[in-house]
Amino acid sequence: MKEEPNAAKILLAAAVLLETKGWCKQVYAMDQRGRNRHPLSDKADAFCAFGALMRTASDVNPLGDPWESASLIEAQIVAINSPELVGDLGFLVRTNDERHRTKQDIIDLFRSTAKCLTETSDAP
């Protein structure tokens, strides 16, 4: 599996973004008035899980493709947390939009995945 080299850093930054800005469902990002916005827009003020990854991937690597980086990180999230679903496109969007899902669930998912990635990269 191809990996995003800055995945842990992007996941942690995305968790902070959701804590400080806001979280949403059904769209990648929205402004303060609830209008749909592109995740890289300066007017975006709340983000779904995938939108937060796109935004922070762009901040960490401005010359990279934020969609590709977010997709690679999504694959790593699935591999660590739900290996039976590897190859299941749209996992993160569906997880984010589940009726019972909360912002804290997504933040915890990002932080726990970042921790696993960091522990794996630190292993001899």
Question: Residue 111 is part of which domain span?
Answer: 7-122
**Domain contains 32:** yes
In a domain, 73, yes or no: yes
Q: Specify the pLDDT at position 38.
A: 97
Residue 11 lies in a domain: yes
pLDDT of residue 79: 84
The pLDDT of residue 2 is 60
Domain count across the chain: 1
Provide the pLDDT for residue 29: 98
- Predicted confidence at residue 3, as pLDDT, reads 63
Please report whether residue 39 resides in a domain: yes
The answer to whether position 1 is within a domain reads no
Spell out the per-residue pLDDT of the chain, length 124, in tens: 566 668 999 999 999 999 999 999 999 999 999 999 999 999 999 999 999 999 999 998 888 889 898 988 888 888 888 877 766 668 899 999 999 999 999 999 999 999 998 887 655 5
Domain membership flag for residue 2: no
Output phi, psi for 14, to 5 deg: -65, -40
pTM above 0.75, yes or no: yes
For the chain, how big is the Rg over CA atoms in Å?
14
The alpha carbon dihedral of 98, 108, 104, 77 has a sign of negative
